[in-house]
Structure 1
Amino acid sequence: MLNSNQWLHRHDQFVTQSQALLHRLHECVTHLEMIADDEDAIACLQATLLSLTEQAAGASLDAMAAFTLQLQQRLARLIDSHGLSLEAIATLRHCLGLLAWQLELIDPHTGELPLDDDDQHRLLARLGDQAATATPPGVSQRD
């Protein structure tokens, strides 16, 4: 973790960059709600999640970095195997809401994020469940 002086110097920059990345992620999700299999929106989503993971890791926000990395990995598996359902996209939107909330709760003086990770685990488990129960592309629900 960064010390207090290092964090104070990085805080505004980190928050500004992370908010811009979250905004871009919300735009990707909004587009995916209209066209769930849009390759450009999916690529943007994955690249932006990677950037947010790197930003959080660079700011020594390990819990946030781990969450965004796991989110990126679960989404990649879901996209590769089944595509994104509207339910998965809604869960993704909830994940982004949690990230935005966490960003607001980072202590501006110490960089600490005083939260447990229960909500993160629940949302990631929901994405995992959706991947397990999704119908593969090209297969109808009745097959």
Structure 2
Amino acid sequence: MMNDGKEWQLALSAFLLEAEKLLNRSEECLSHLHLIRNDSDAIDCMTLSLAKLAAQADTLALQAISEFSGHIHGLIANAENPLQLHDQALDALHDCLTLLAWQLELIDTKTGQLALDETEQTSLIATVTVQIPQKGFTCKPQQRLHHAS
């Protein structure tokens, strides 16, 4: 693992700057979606930004960031057509982006560790899943959770 020394700190610093840009871009897309619902360009921009964030976090072995941003990306990319981004769905996505930004600030710049209780991530993912129906799921959200056990 690369999480030690000066190279790691430089790589992490560069990642954090890029991550901030990608999150800002995602938040701008989300704001646009509040004005123009289901705009495909804004959705594509947000999914691309989240995918880049996940890939870059994965490269630095920042598992919590990589998995969370990748999961959000997957939920948007796998949404039923036509995608229905109503207020509750947009609010849930906003909450996810807010948590991601907060988590980025809490990464230990010396070790890359993020002390994290995954409860909030899990809860937000469940909320987004309910608010943005996924392709291939025909049962009610409560049934999905029961079958996943």
Map Cα deviations across residues 32-69 of structure 1 (whole Å, 9 max, x no partner): 01011111101101111111111111111011101111
Q: What code does the residue aligned with 2:91 have?
A: A
1:38 aligns with 2:39: yes
TM-score w.r.t. structure 1 length?
A: 0.86
The match for 1:19 is 20
Q: What code does the residue aligned with 1:2 have?
A: M
Q: How does 1:3-14 map to 2 (within 5 A)?
A: 3-5=3-5, 6-14=7-15
Whether the aligned pair in 1 keeps the contact of 2:38 and 2:83 (CA below 8 Å) is: no
- Higher RCO, Cα 8 Å, sep 6+: 1
- For the aligned residues, what is the CA RMSD? 1.6
The match for 1:78 is 79
Taking the aligned partners of 1:64 and 1:124, their CA distance within structure 2 comes to 13
Q: What are the ranges of 5 or more consecutive residues in structure 2 without an aligned counterpart?
A: 134-149
The alignment-based identity, stated in percent, is 37
Q: CA deviation at 1:127?
A: 1.0
Taking the aligned partners of 1:3 and 1:100, their CA distance within structure 2 comes to 21
The match for 1:61 is 62
1:2 aligns with 2:14: no
Taking the aligned partners of 1:60 and 1:87, their CA distance within structure 2 comes to 32
SS where residue 100 of structure 1 aligns?
Answer: helix
Q: What code does the residue aligned with 1:111 have?
A: G
SS where residue 24 of structure 1 aligns?
Answer: helix
Map Cα deviations across residues 2-39 of structure 1 (whole Å, 9 max, x no partner): 23114212121011000010110110000001011111
SS where residue 78 of structure 1 aligns?
Answer: coil
Q: CA deviation at 1:76?
A: 2.0
Taking the aligned partners of 2:80 and 2:20, their CA distance within structure 1 comes to 25
Taking the aligned partners of 1:47 and 1:20, their CA distance within structure 2 comes to 13
Taking the aligned partners of 1:94 and 1:79, their CA distance within structure 2 comes to 21
The match for 2:93 is 92
Whether the aligned pair in 2 keeps the contact of 1:19 and 1:100 (CA below 8 Å) is: yes
Taking the aligned partners of 1:34 and 1:114, their CA distance within structure 2 comes to 36
Whether the aligned pair in 2 keeps the contact of 1:36 and 1:86 (CA below 8 Å) is: no
TM-score w.r.t. structure 2 length?
A: 0.83
Taking the aligned partners of 1:41 and 1:114, their CA distance within structure 2 comes to 32
Q: CA deviation at 1:79?
A: 5.2
